[in-house]
Every structure is written in C-alpha cells, then in structure tokens.
Amino acid sequence: MNEALQTIDILLLGSGGREHALAVKLASSPRCGTLYIAPGNGGTLEVGENVALDENDPAAVADFARESGIGLVVIGPEAPLVVGVADAVREAGIPCFGPGAAGAQVEGSKLFSKELMGRANIPTAAYGSFTDEESALAYVREQGAPLVVKADGLAAGKGVIVATELAQAEEAVHECFSGTFGDAGSTVVIEEMLTGPECSLLAFTDGKTVRPMATSQDHKRALEGDRGPNTGGMGVYSPVPIVTPEEHAEMERIMDATVAELAAEGIDYRGCLYGGFMLTPQGPKVLEFNARFGDPETQVILPRLENDLVEVMLACAEQRLDEIELSWRDEWAVAVVLTSAGYPGSYEKGKVITGIEDAAAMDGVTVYHAGTAVNEAGELVTSGGRVLAVTALGDTFEAARNLAYEACEKIGFEGKTLRHDIGLRALKGREAWD
C-alpha cells in the first residue's frame, strides 16, 4: 500500500447526531482504520467502536489516543474544546481537528467573541456587557425592547433569551444572575435584536487557509410556524436558496477576516469555524460564532461533501489546507429531527424505536442517531430529547423535502414528535421573511 493510502485509527469525541454524521463520513474514507467514538450512541455502534472515555478530561483523552496509536482525534462538541482537550492531544504529538482552548473562546465566551469582532471590524449587533444585575437592568431599561439577553459562557444552548418586551428582558437578566446557568451567567451580554433570515456558514480552517462549506439553515423553534421555545434544532436544509451571491461573498469575507484576526492575536485555530449570520437589510451580520460543527447542520452538509473527510481534517490538523479544494454534490439535502414528547422540556426515555431500517433502505435517505441507546434486551431505545435526524437528498428542494418526510413516517416510537414545516418558508422565497 502506498503511503498516501495508509490507514489511520481515529478517535471521535461526542455522542449526538453531529457525531453520528461525522462517524459515517469518516468511516467511508479509505484512510479510516479503526474508528473509536467516545462515548458514542446507538447509531455510532454500526460504524465504529464506542468507548467509555470522559470526553471532557484532556489528560484521559490524550492518554487514550497515545496508548491506542490514534492518528487523528476529531472533537465534536464544544465543551471538550473549551476545557483544552485539543491542546492536550497536540502536546502529545497527535494530529487533532478542533481548536485549542484559546480559539474555542469564540464560542465559550460571548464577550470574547464580540470583542474579537470589534477588533476585526466584523458587522454584528450593538451590545453591552455586564457583571452585575443592577447595571444590566439599567441598560435594558435605557435601550428598551426588543433585546437579546445572553449568558456569556456555555449553557447547553439555553443561555440565549430573545425578549420582545421589557419585562421579558428584565426577567432574563435576573435569570442569568440568579445562577440558573451557573458560572455561564456571571457575565451577561445584551444585544440589539437583528431582523432578517438566518443562515449558517461553516468553514474548515487550519488557522491560515479558510475553506467555506455549503450554506445551511436550521429551524430552532419547537413548534410549527417558528413558534414555541428554542431547541437544539428541529430540522435543517442545505444549500440556502434565498442567499444572494453578494451576501455569500460577504459571509466568506467575514470568515476569512475572523481567522486572520485570531492568527494576528497569536491564536492557532485548526478545525471548524461556524458562523451564524442574520441576513439584515444592511447585509449579513454575525449572530454568533461556534468552535465546532453545528447540530443538525452537519447532517445535511456532510452528505453533500464529495471530499474524503479524513483527508480534509488531516490537512487542517497539519496546516496544509491550501492543498485542498472542496467539492459539493448538486443535490439538495433536507433533514427532519424526530424528538421525544415534551422536548425541549422534560421527556421520558427508553421508548423502543422501530422502522429505521425501512427508512434507511430508501434511496437517498440516511438516518442519523442522536438520543439513542441499546437497552439490556438489545433493543434500540430513545435516550435523549432529539432522537433522530432523517436526512434526504433530492434533485430539487421539494423532492428532498418530500422524501425526508416520507422516511419519517416509517419510523415509530412512543411520543414521536416532529415539525411538518421544515423548509416551507424558504420555498416561498425571500419575501416570506418580510
């Protein structure tokens, strides 16, 4: 076997739908030897070996990677990045896809991210930051609603409150400082509320070169018509048809400028940079940066990527991404998320799941596991709020969307919940956001 095709063993950290999508893509590479997933889920069992390992313990991850002869570590979630797992892995001399703790602050601290954008002249919402409740409340009353109140640190996706009325904003400030979000709420960022459609643009980067991925659009609200509480994501599609060439070019410019600013400040950022944008009347503005792949965005982006993911990630880890050009399938991708009844509030676990094989047997359909596990009887059961993401590829947006919903009908579990309007707004064009 020539050197270019030598296989390497890979360790992937995480347990969600994003990690199952990453695992499927990594396992399809001729470069992939043994694929370990820590801790994994009921779906990753089918493409690799789940291992009991604390993904948030830098020393434990580095030790496992060293002792197992791992040739690439891929970090899925944000928490291991923020605590410095990538730093420990690199110090052990092992290639790693994911930024170190310094770079992960683009997601780990909303204030760090806003200040970084200010230094790089990146368009974003006007804001104030506060470390005491009294000052924050004074700012809220001075600005008036609508406002967006954000806990500074990681709050498992729950630390952002969109307040359309003053009383809501005041309550959100109180909630942050009352300890609801732990240390994440000790600093609070309060922003103006931007208007327009949202769009995600993720990019591979080695800290020097930036290779943008395909655009995608998530549906955060729990209920149809974009109502109800925010969730981790109820459905997503790629690409986003309403984005103009000028908006796309500006989003790419912003991603380039962000990586350049990080490098200028001495931060070595290798991995995925996620740009969450609002397409405002004044042009794209950054809502947030994440330091990793999105979930469920990964479940529609990776099926459209024609490149070998192992090769791309190694190029990022070894700072030779300039050698890689990305190639994308022409098909549209639509994913619908199946959730447990009650999500994002409390929900029951352990419900037996049926029909995945029938859905996955459909041409163009992939079922990604998120909150699944295998019980003592060997049955696949629910173990989380977001249970599965059903992804379909099609020659048209409508074809992909219809196929995804057809596949969803084949899957059953007690309390299965889903939105039936994923992508409908985009089908109507830009005026649907007016």
Query: What are the residues whose beta carbons fall under 8 Å from the beta carbon of 129, sequence distance 6 or more?
Result: 111, 114, 152, 187, 188, 189, 190
The structural domains of the chain, with segments of one domain joined by +, span: 10-100, 130-186
Homologous superfamily, domain 130-186: ATP-grasp fold, A domain (3.30.1490.20)
Q: Is 75 in contact with 88 (CB distance < 8 Å)?
A: no
Token pair belonging to 44: 């990753």
Q: Indicate the residue type of 214.
A: A
Global confidence as pTM: 0.95
CA distance 330 to 328: 6
Q: Is 338 in contact with 353 (CB distance < 8 Å)?
A: no
Task: Give me the pLDDT at residue 4, please.
Answer: 55
- Strand 32-39 versus strand 8-14 pairing type: parallel
Which 8-state DSSP code applies to residue 194? Answer: P
Residues 121-137: tens digit of each pLDDT: 999 999 999 999 999 99
Q: Which residue has the tokens 């029909």?
A: 355
CATH class of 10-100: alpha beta
CA distance 130 to 111: 10
Torsion sign over Cα 427, 300, 305, 120: positive
Across the chain, mean pLDDT equals 95
Residues 160-218: tens digit of each pLDDT: 888 999 999 999 999 999 888 888 888 999 999 999 999 999 999 999 999 999 999 99
CA distance 315 to 354: 39
Average pLDDT over residues 269-298: 97
Task: Give me the pLDDT at residue 361, please.
Answer: 97
Topology match between the domains 10-100 and 130-186:
no
